[in-house]
Amino acid sequence: MIKYAFSSTLWKSSEAGAWYFVSLPDELSKEIRTHSQWMEEGWGRLKAEASIKDVKWSTAIWFDSKKNTYLLPIKAEIRKKLNLTDGVHLDIELNL
C-alpha cells in the first residue's frame, strides 16, 4: 500500500445527485497516474482508503479526464461525522 497526504477543498458537483468531492493536487495525480494506472478499473477507478482527522473509510478515487486529475468523493456519512460543508479546506490521507 502506498500512502499519500495532501490538502484540498471540498466542492459540490453541479450534476444531478450533487456529489461532493475533493480534487487531488495536479502533481499528485500525475504521480499516481504514472505509477498506478495499470491498477485502474473501469472509468479510471482506483480502490483506496481515505482518512480525514480520525475518520477512515474504504472508497475509490476516479480519474477525471476533463480536469486531468483524480477526484475523491466524500460521501454524506463522512461529511456528517465531520460536519463538513462545501468550501472547507481538508487535510487528507490516502492509501492506494
Note the pLDDT of residue 16: 61
Nearest to 32 by CA among 20, 43, 44: 44
Note the pLDDT of residue 32: 92
Residue 13 cell numbers, joined? 458537483
How does pLDDT run along the chain (96 residues), one tens digit per residue?
A: 899 999 999 999 987 678 999 999 999 999 998 888 777 677 778 999 999 999 999 999 999 989 999 999 999 999 999 999 999 999 999 999
Residue 70: burial class (beta carbons within 10 Å; 0-12, 13-18, 19+): buried
| One-letter-per-residue 3-state SS of 19-88 | CEEEECCHHHHHHHHHHHHHHCEHHHEEEEEEEECCEEEEEEEEEECCCCEEEEECCHHHHHHHCCCCCC
pTM for this predicted structure: 0.90
